[in-house]
Amino acid sequence: MLHIRLEFHRICLHTQVGDVRRGLLGIAAICLACWVSTRCGVAQPTKIAIKVDVSRVVGRIQPLHGVNGGPLHSGETLDLSDAYRQLSLPLTRLHDCHWPNADVVDIHVLFPDPNADPELAASYNFSRTDDYIQTIVNTQSQIVFRLGESIEHSRKKYHVHPPADAGKWAAICLGIVRHYNDEWANGFRHNIRYWEIWNEPENRPAMWSGSDEDYFRIYAAAATAIKSRFPDVRVGGPAVGFAGKLDGDRLAPSQFVRSFLDRCRSDNLPLDFFSWHTYTNSPREFVQRARAIRRLLDESGFQRTENHLNEWNYLPDNDWSPMLGKQPQLRQSWFDRIHGNEGAAFTAASLIGFQDAPLDAANYYSADIHGFGMFSEHGVPHRNYDAIRLFAKMLATTERLDVSGNLPAAVSILAGINADRTQCHILASNHSSTSYELTVRLDSWSQNQEIEWQVESLEPSLKLTPASATTESLTIQLKAHSISFVHAE
């Protein structure tokens, strides 16, 4: 027996007597429009079909949907913890927290007097950051603690300068680790595993006013001090904004990256994870870069170093100029594309692509309320939030299934089944301006087993209408820049 239940995303339907007449007229108008479009040769969606073989497990679906930034915003007038919990976030990176006016996490906030003694608890101001981190811990997410400062786009740079004394700066970092992992200074045992040294030190002057050598000096001091005291944590960096240029399946590393890896190898410095960032309009670029960076690390002697893409997002038209320009309308439109349907489809396609990339961690930038974020300034979720929410639902069926079919490059599909073989989930993303009619067929599903289909769709109209369904297949409209999540049991 076949049951079909459609879940309309944030749609409420209220019907009264007067509405019925209008509704019937509306249906008639729709039918007429469909007849006219057919007769007049209006382009119909391209038909594509996939087969999901529920008997063929090809791996496990990895939770690579970490984010940057925690749930507290706007002086704690916004606590988005409930929305965060729906995402089952594996990893939250602490960078640009409460940007652009950081009052948590950054070194200048935690250790406000640079002349103070880092061995004294009284030299630190942990209280606000304690509250910020506790809300993240309460959502069950793990943490990447970026030791350093947030980006400064201001004309004058206030905090992104090299520390005068690398050894003292390392001692400050060690005090922070002790506070959050070893209960020092009325602290905690949060067991924060990942500690990252600075962010984008090659991004000058917005993130660093010093030289390469200045960064290598503080990295060596802090990484060595932390690993000596806490050998079980993982220390890394450099959270590089530009790792190098892709050359086929290889990376031609930037001079900064090459010098950093050479220094870590020659001085035997800890490098438990190598972190890097990419903003692009091509989901496939993430996979290409992840493979090339993994190859670079392996060939450089860092086979055990984890591969972290800990800042990523959609870059419309691969063009930063609207954000940096002086035309407010263009800037608004640019950000709307990032967190609207276009960016949501890109986000889902990227998360699907990550499953074929040698990544150990990934963090979307960001789960905040600014332009790159997943929420409005009032805490209303954007469409990119829903993309991550739908991906998180795939984690109920973590055994990845084989998918075959005539898929165009802009359509991405991920399928999984639970251990009991009672539920199958499928996530489909169309990151293009072309509409498709997608038929999904479940192969090797028990013929004697009742199937119930549930579909949730993100598309401009917020609606979904299956064209047809059988006990083994379902046809849905995968419109331009849209996502569909299918549940079968």
Whether residue 29 is contained in a domain is answered as no
Are residues 384 and 288 part of one domain?
A: yes
Q: What value does the mean pLDDT of the chain take? A: 91
279 and 425 together in one domain: no
- Do the beta carbons of residue 457 and residue 486 sit within 8 Å? no
Q: Using an 8 Å Cβ cutoff, are 80 and 92 in contact?
A: no
pLDDT digits (tens, 9 = 90+) for 45-98: 899 999 999 999 999 999 999 999 999 999 999 999 999 999 999 999 999 999
Instruction: Say what the pTM is.
Output: 0.90
**Tally of domains within the chain:** 2
- The residue among 354, 376, 396 that closes a domain is 396
- Based on the fold, state whether residues 74 and 218 are members of the same structural domain: yes
Give me the pLDDT at residue 444, please: 87
Is the domain of 144 the same as that of 72? Answer: yes
Which of 396, 413, 432 is at the close of a domain? Answer: 396
22: in domain: no
For residues 344 and 467, membership in a common domain is answered with: no
- Collapsed DSSP state (helix, strand, coil) of residue 413: strand
C-alpha to C-alpha distance for 177 and 321, rounded to whole angstroms: 38
Looking up tokens 């930063």 gives 320
Tens digits of residue pLDDT in 383-412 = 999 999 999 999 999 999 999 999 999 999
Domain closes at, from 380, 396, 412: 396
Q: Which phi-psi region, left, alpha or beta, contains residue 221 (left: φ > 0; alpha: ψ -120 to 50)? A: alpha
Which has the closest alpha carbon to 234: 113, 153, 365, 142? 142
Res 452: pLDDT: 84
Cis peptide before 238 (omega within 30 of 0): yes
Burial class (CB in 10 A: 0-12, 13-18, 19+), 396: middle
Same domain, 386 and 444: no
Same domain? For 459 and 384 the reply is no
pLDDT the model gives residue 451: 77
Kind of pairing, strands 451-458 and 411-417? unpaired
Q: Are residues 112 and 132 in the same domain?
A: yes
432 and 313 housed in the same domain: no
Task: Provide the CATH number for the domain around residue 431.
Answer: 2.60.40.1180
The span from the CA of 294 to the CA of 30, in Å, is: 53
Dihedral pair phi/psi, residue 114, rounded to 5°: -65, -15
In a domain, 431, yes or no: yes
Contact in structure between 29 and 21 (CB atoms under 8 Å): no
Q: How far apart are CA 161 and CA 149, in angstroms?
A: 9
Beta bridge partners of 482: 430
Nearest to 162 by CA among 124, 198, 109: 198
Is 21 inside any structural domain? no
Nearest CA-CA partner of 74 in 446, 461, 365, 378: 378
Q: How is residue 271 written in tokens?
A: 């490098």
In a domain, residue 262? The reply is yes
Q: How many CA atoms lie within 13 A of 211 on its CB side?
A: 5
pLDDT digits (tens, 9 = 90+) for 364-388: 999 999 999 999 999 999 999 999 9
Q: Which residues have CB under 8 Å from 482's CB, separation 6+?
A: 341, 345, 429, 430, 457, 458, 459, 460
Is 148 in the same domain as 213? Answer: yes
- Which domain range does residue 252 map to? 66-396
DSSP string, 179-230: HHHS-TTT-------EEEE-S-TTSTTTT-SS-HHHHHHHHHHHHHHHHHH-
Neighbours of 464 (CB within 10 A): 23
Q: Residue 17: inside a domain, yes or no?
A: no
Question: Before 141, cis peptide (omega within 30)?
Answer: no
Q: What is the full per-residue pLDDT of the chain (489 aa) written as tens digits? A: 333 333 433 322 232 333 433 444 443 444 444 444 444 455 688 999 999 999 999 999 999 999 999 999 999 999 999 999 999 999 999 999 999 889 999 999 999 999 999 999 999 999 999 999 999 999 999 999 999 999 999 999 999 999 999 999 999 999 999 999 999 999 999 999 999 999 999 999 999 999 999 999 999 999 999 999 999 999 999 999 999 999 989 999 999 999 999 999 999 999 999 999 999 999 999 999 999 999 999 999 999 999 999 999 999 999 999 998 899 999 999 999 999 999 999 999 999 999 999 999 999 999 999 999 999 999 999 999 999 999 999 999 999 999 999 999 999 999 999 999 999 999 999 999 999 999 999 998 875 666 788 999 876 544 444 445 666 789 999 999 999 999 998
In-domain check, residue 244: yes
What phi, psi does 153 have (nearest 5°)? -85, -5
Contact, 350 vs 288, CB < 8 A? Answer: no
> 55 and 417 in contact (C-beta within 8 Å)?
no
DSSP string spanning 436-465?
Answer: EEEEEEEES--TTS-EEEEEEEESTT----
Tokens read off for 338: 């990032």
pLDDT (0 to 100) of residue 474: 92
CATH, residue 375: 3.20.20.80
CA 270 vs CA 88, 219, 230, 254, 482: distances in Å? 30, 9, 12, 21, 43
Same domain flag for 318 and 411: no
Q: Confirm if 196 and 145 have CB atoms less than 8 A apart.
A: yes
Integer Rg of the chain from CA: 25
Peptide bond into 205 cis (omega under 30): yes
Residue pair 361/347 in contact (Cβ under 8 Å)? The answer is: no
Whether 36 maps to a domain, the answer reads no
- H/E element, 298: helix 283-299
CA 226/CA 116 separation, integer angstroms: 20
Coil/strand/helix, residue 375: strand
Q: Could you tell me if 357 and 304 lie in one domain?
A: yes
